[in-house]
Amino acid sequence: MADEKLRDAWTKSEKVLGKGNADEALKILREIDPDGEKATTLRIAGEATWAIAAKGTSKSEYRRAASLLRDAVKKDPRDKKANNSYNSILNEMQDKGIKETTMPRLVNDGTPTLAGIVALCTSIIIALMLIKLASESSSDLATEATLELSWTNADGSQSTGVVVVELYAEDAPIHVENFGILAEEGNYDGTVFHRIISNFMMQGGDFTRGDGSGGYAGKFFGYCDGQEADSAGDCPMSSYTVPDEADNGRSHAPYSLSMAKTNNPHTGGSQFFIVDPDAVGQDGSPGTPHLDGVHTVFGEVTSGFEHIDIITALCDNQNCQNDKTPQDVVLESVTTNLDDDSWWKFW
């Protein structure tokens, strides 16, 4: 019975993938084989992730797809479909100048490679030199986040979609750390986008009140309601805010991810917004340039643009009251590339 359910799920996921709905295919696979125990699950997941990568510009999506297909081949080396897909994506990645991994492969089917031996020796030396520094530094920051959304379309039908965001860990490290903490603790899960303004932006992240009046930073960053504070003991958790990093050279281009706050500096907490793809500044430039240097841009959408397009258009033609959609646009979950609890969170 279990095998029959698996086969049915695989068939269904391949059908929806063939119709261009890679997100739905991945959802089916997660439900039937959340640990990725079967080679066929990994193969279809890899092909679905590949389809998502081909629509966007994220190199990491290609690497995730290749990794899933490589694992599928390892689980079942005689699976011709997995082998063909793996070889095909490697060829495509080579054509696009995308390396399969960001580090040299140390072994190839159990045999050390020359590049691997050199890399291993170099890594050991560097690791020994950096142990002290590593012990003193904060944990690595996320460089990518995955947002699962659900919403009601204008015709009343229900939709879901996955949006991938690149996080600017180098340009806005405090904001990225804050976003990662809130995501890891599940604070964003099930929240709503309470403010959607046509040709401007969609805003969410208020995990305490859901109306734009609540939320707070994931930890104490030295600011309490926008004012510097000496210690967390001087500030209630609900007043934790994030210091501005608005002068980081990043602009509010369409699909940018930015921190929401009051008119006062250093008052960002948990709320964020994504710039409407149709937003245009007073000078005719795309995006919302009047927010540059005021709000901190800490990421940008790299995949799932079509979902943002649909959601931001829900309030076109004055279809919303008080900048709120008739039915909630829900942020079902947020995960980052530092969260490795489940196999499917890598794609």
Do 114 and 162 fall within a single domain? no
Determine which of 61-75, 111-125, 267-281, 283-297 has the lowest per-residue pLDDT on average. 111-125
Do 151 and 299 fall within a single domain? yes
Do 52 and 179 fall within a single domain? no
Query: Does 104 have pLDDT greater than 70?
Result: no
pLDDT computed for residue 73 by the predictor = 87
Tally of CB atoms within 10 A around 86: 23
Do 305 and 330 fall within a single domain? yes
Do 79 and 172 fall within a single domain? no
pLDDT computed for residue 140 by the predictor = 79
Q: What is the spatial distance between Cα 147 and Cα 133, in angstroms, rounded to a whole number?
A: 33
Do 25 and 172 fall within a single domain? no
Domain of residue 81, CATH code: 1.25.40.10
- Range 197-217 average pLDDT: 97
pLDDT tens for each residue of 182-202: 999 999 999 999 999 999 999
- 102 part of a folded domain: no
Do 76 and 131 fall within a single domain? no
- 176 part of a folded domain: yes
Helix axes 22-32, 39-55, angle to 10 degrees: 160
Domain assignment of residue 128, given as a range: 107-136
pLDDT tens for each residue of 286-317: 999 999 999 999 999 999 999 999 999 999 88
- 234 part of a folded domain: yes
- 130 part of a folded domain: yes
Determine which of 55-64, 127-136, 283-292, 325-334 has the lowest per-residue pLDDT on average. 127-136
Q: How many domains does the chain have?
A: 3
Domain of residue 294, CATH code: 2.40.100.10
Do 130 and 167 fall within a single domain? no
Do 189 and 127 fall within a single domain? no
pLDDT tens for each residue of 129-156: 544 434 334 357 999 999 999 999 989 9
Please say whether the beta carbons of 168 and 292 come within 8 A. Answer: no
* 322 Cβ contact partners less than 8 Å away, ≥ 6 residues apart: none
Give the phi and the psi of residue 158 in degrees, each rounded to 5: -95, 145
Q: What is the spatial distance between Cα 141 and Cα 155, in angstroms, rounded to a whole number?
A: 40
